[in-house]
Structure 1
C-alpha cells in the first residue's frame, strides 16, 4: 500500500466551485497572498492553523482538472478538498442535503466499443474511490459541522434560517456522484442518469475529473456537494439566495471542520476501482 507523507509537509488544496465560497475562506485567511498560474488566482495562506492553497475550480471537467493539476504540481498540495453544489438524483436526497462522494464517475464518458461505457481509458475502471476510511472521516466531520446543534440558536450556524427557504435540516449522504460537461436540469436527463446509474446520488460538472487527477498524483481527496436542486426544471429555491445563505456557509463550516480532523500521519493513497 502506498502512503503519503504527513499532510503538514505540503499545503492543503481547497477548490471552491463558487466565488462566494472562496471569499468566505479568504475572509478567514489573515495572511493570504495571490499567486497566478495558468490564468487562475491561487491564494496561499493559513486557515485554522493549517497551510492551505485556495482557488476557484473553474466550470466543467477540463477547467477543474487543470486547476487540480496545478495544485498538485505547482503547489505540491498533499490532499485536496472540493466543495460546491450539485443536483440531487437519489430518491431520498433533498435540496439542502449534503453528499460526500465515496465514488465518482464521468457520466458522459463513452469510448465504446473500444472500452465499456464510463470506463476511464488507461485506468480500466469507471468509478474512482477515495480511501474508505478517509470518506468515513469526512462524512463524520460534515455531519458534526452541520448538526442540529450547530444550526440551533446559539450554534455557529444559527444565522442560517432554513425555514425561510422551506428547507429541513441537512442530511449527510455518502455515495456516488456523477460528473459531466452538461448542466442537468430536465427531468428527462435526470431520469436517464438514474436509469444507467441506479445508485447515483448527485450530479455536477467537475468532481470525477478532479478525482482522476488525484489518482494520477496519489493524492487523497474529498468531494463534498450541497444539493441545490433536483436536477430537473423545477425551481425549488432561489439559486442565488441559496448559494449565499446556505451553500456557502455550509462549505465554510465543512472546510473548518475538516481542518480540525484530517489526519496528521500517513494517508493511504486513493485507488481506482470498478
Structure 2
C-alpha cells in the first residue's frame, strides 16, 4: 500500500507531516507533496486546496505521478441532517455532486456520459476508518480536545455516521438549501466541497478511496461562525488521531 492523504486546508493535516518518518518534499502543479512513512505505512500527504477541480487534479497527480494505491480524504463538513451535530464524524458510503445538473440532457446529479450519480467509497477502507474513529472516541477524545473547546462547541458525546456525502463548489450556509438537498438526496449525512470529485477520479482510475469528515457546522446561516477555530482546535485533532489509528491497524493486516 502507498496511501495518499488529502485535505483541503493546512489546518486539517496539522501534525501529520511532523509525524512522518524521513519525509521529503516534492513540488508539482503548485502543490507540495510530502512523501515518507506514517506509522510504518508508505504515505504521501498533500493539500488539495478547496473545491472539486482542485481535489480532482490533486487526486490524479497522486495516482499518476506518485504511484498512490489508496486515497484517504480527511477534513471538515457541514451537517447533512438535523440529527448530525457539530463534532460528529461521518464516513462516506457514496458521494454525489450536488451542484451537477445537466438536465434535461441528463438526470439531475448524474455526471454526463458516466451513467452515475453516486460514486462509491471503498467499503473495506471505510470500515477500517470506522474502527479507527470508534477507537479515537473511546480512547483519545477525552484528552485530545481541550475542555474549553469542548465547552465552546458543545462537544459531549460525539457520534459516528456512515452514509451519503454531497459535494459542490459552494459553501452551504442556507437552511433552505440544505433542506432541499435533504429532500432530493435520501441518506445525506454531510455537505462539503471536494469528496465527490475525489471519488469520481478514483472510480475512473480504479483506485480505492475513503472520505472521513468532522462536522464543523450545521450548514445554515451560522456555518461560518468560528469555523477556523474549530478546524484548528478540534478537527485537526480528530484527523491526526484517526489517521494514526488507521495506519497502525492497517500495517498489521
TM-score, structure 2 length as denominator?
0.93
Partner of 1:79: 70
Residues 66-113 of structure 1, C-alpha deviation per residue, up to 9 Å, x if partnerless?
A: 000000100010100000100002131000101000010001111122
**Does 2:182 align with 1:191?**
no
Contact 2:92–2:165 under 8 Å retained in 1 = yes
TM-aligned CA distance change 1:175 to 1:264, over 3 Å = same
Alpha-carbon distance in structure 2 between the residues aligned to 1:257 and 1:210? 22
Q: Does 1:16 align with 2:40?
A: no
CA RMSD in angstroms comes to 1.8
Q: How do 1:169-248 and structure 2 match up within 5 A?
A: 169-234=157-222, 238-248=226-236
Aligned mates of 1:218, 1:66 — CA distance in 2: 16
Q: 2-side partners of 1:56 and 1:133: how far apart?
A: 24
Deviation track 1:93-138 (CA, whole Å, cap 9, x = no partner) reads 0001010000100011111222211112232111011233332232
Please tell me whether the aligned partners of residues 89 and 214 of structure 2 are also in contact (alpha carbons under 8 angstroms): yes
* Residue in structure 2 matched with residue 48 of structure 1 by the alignment: 39
2-structure distance, mates of 1:219, 1:56 = 19
Secondary structure of 2:210's counterpart equals strand
SS for the counterpart of 1:31 is strand
In structure 2, what is the Cα distance between the partners aligned to 1:134 and 1:30?
A: 23
Within a 5 Å distance, the mapping from 1:1-274 to structure 2 comes to 7=1, 11-147=2-138, 149-152=139-142, 155=143, 157=144, 159=146, 161-234=149-222, 238-262=226-250
Alpha-carbon distance between aligned partners in 2 of 1:24 and 1:134, rounded to the nearest angstrom: 22
Q: For the structure 1 residues 38 and 236, does the alpha-carbon distance in structure 2 shift closer, same or farther, using more than 3 Å as the test?
A: closer
Contact 1:99-1:201 at 8 Å conserved across structures: yes
Q: Unpaired segments of 5 or more residues in structure 1?
A: 1-6, 266-274
Structure 2: distance between partners of 1:185 and 1:218: 34
- Work out whether residues 41 and 251 of structure 2, in 8 Å CA contact, stay in contact via their aligned partners in 1: no
Distance in 2, Cα, partners of 1:72 & 1:255 = 20
Is contact 1:146–1:253 with CA below 8 Å preserved after alignment?
no
Q: Which is further off, 190-199 or 169-178?
A: 190-199
Task: Point out the structure with the larger helix share.
Answer: 2
Q: Which runs of 5+ in 2 are unaligned?
A: none
Over residues 128-161 of structure 1, what are the superposed CA-to-partner deviations in whole Å (9 max), with x where a residue is unaligned? 11233332232122111222x3223xx5x26465
